[in-house]
Copies of this chain bind each other. A is one copy, B any other.
C-alpha cells in the first residue's frame, strides 16, 4: 500500500511550507497562508503541487458544527525517515513519520571500534527489519550520527580518536546507497541537539547548548534555532578543553583535558582503580561480578550508598560544571540541556554541574539559566538525525 516517494520540494516556498507542516502541522490552509504570509490562492496552488508529488495531503474540511471550515493540510501519511544514532558502545536506529514522531526504535549492541563495515551493517540490518515490519519500501531520507568529528560537506568521518577505521570512511554515501534515499551525516552530539530542538526540552529555545556526557563529552551549539557547526564543522568539541588537574594525560596527547577526568571512560577507569586499590568494597564486588566496570556501575554503587563512587560522580560533575561555567560566560545561552548515557546516572551529577556552573558564572548570565536533563534519552538521536535529513529533502533542489 505504501509507495516509494522520490518527490522533493521545488521552491523555497514549498520548502517553508513543508517545514511548517513538519513542525506544526496538520494545519488549515488559512493558517498556512497566515504563517507564510502569502495568499490562500498561492497556498492552494503550492499544496496542490506538493500533493501531486506525494509530499502533502489534504484531508478535507474538518467536521464542523456549523460554519464552513478551511481544508486541513498535512504531510503525506506515508512519509518515512530513518534515524541512525551511532554511539561509542551501541547504536539506536528508528523510523519516523513526516512530523518526526518515532514509529519504531531499536537498540543495537555494537562497539564503534568494531569498525565502520560491521557497525553500519548491523545498523542497516535492523533498519531494514523495522522498515519491513512497517511496510515501507523506501524511506524518504536517512540521517546518521557518529561519535566523532565529521566533514559535513563530504559526509565522511574525520580522524576520530576513538574510532579506528572510520577516518575518511564514506558513511553518508554508503548508507544512502544501501537504503536508496538521500542521507546526511553529522556527529552524534549535533544530532542529539537537533533532537532536543525538535521534540525535547529545547523546543522553544533559540540559543541553547546540549552537553552530551557519554564515553566522551561534547556539546551541540544552537544559535537562533539553527545548529552552529563552526568553520570546520568541529564546534562544540569541549571534551578537550583544559580543566584544573594534576597533569593527567588524555588520549588526544594533551594533559588535563575535561575527558581525562569526566565522562564515561574516565569514570570507568577511576572506578576500576578504586575497586582494585581497596577504596570501595561495592565497586570491588561489581568488578568481580562483571569482569570489568563501566560508568553505569558507578551509578549502581552510588545507589548502594558507596562513598567512593559518590565522590567520583561528584568530582566528574564539578569538572563538567567548570567547563560549562566557561561556556556560559562566553556564549550566554538561554538553556543548557545535559544528555548522554552518563547523564542517566541522575540528579547527583546534575546537582554538581549546576552548583559549579552557577557559582562560577556572572549573575547576569545565570539569572534565568535553566540547566536541565534531557528527557528524550535514546529517541533524541533518532529524531535529530531524521530532522537533519528532512531539511535536506525539503530543501529545494535549486534556489528560487
Report which A residues bind B (CB closer than 8 A). Answer: 149, 158-159, 206-207, 219, 221, 223, 228-238, 240-242, 244, 252, 254, 256, 322-323, 325-327, 329-334, 359-365, 367-368
Contact = CB atoms under 8 A, between A and B. Distances in A.
A13 B268 CA distance: 59
Contact of A233 (B158, B323, B332): B332
Given A206-B231, A207-B231, A232-B332, 16 more contacts: A219-B330, A223-B223, A231-B332, A231-B333, A232-B368, A237-B330, A240-B329, A240-B360, A240-B361, A240-B362, A241-B329, A242-B322, A242-B326, A254-B359, A326-B326, A330-B330
A158 B367 CA distance: 13
Contacts of A329: 237-238, 240-241
A230 B365 contact: yes
Given A242-B244, A325-B241, A325-B242, A364 B330 contact: no
Nearest to A255: B360
A368 B362 CA distance: 33
B360 A254 contact: yes
A330 B327 contact: yes
A149 to B, nearest CB: 6
Given A241-B329, A329-B237, A364 B231 contact: no
| Copies of this chain held together in the complex | 2
Nearest to A228: B223
A228 to B, nearest CB: 6
Nearest to A333: B231
Nearest to A252: B362
A330 B238 contact: yes
A326 B230 CA distance: 14
A37 B341 CA distance: 49
Contacts of A236: 330, 332
A331 B207 contact: no
Give the residue among A236, A362, A363 with the most B Cβ atoms within 10 A: A362
A2 to B, nearest CB: 39
Contacts of A158: 364
Given A223-B223, A230-B207, A235 B364 contact: no
Contacts of A327: 330
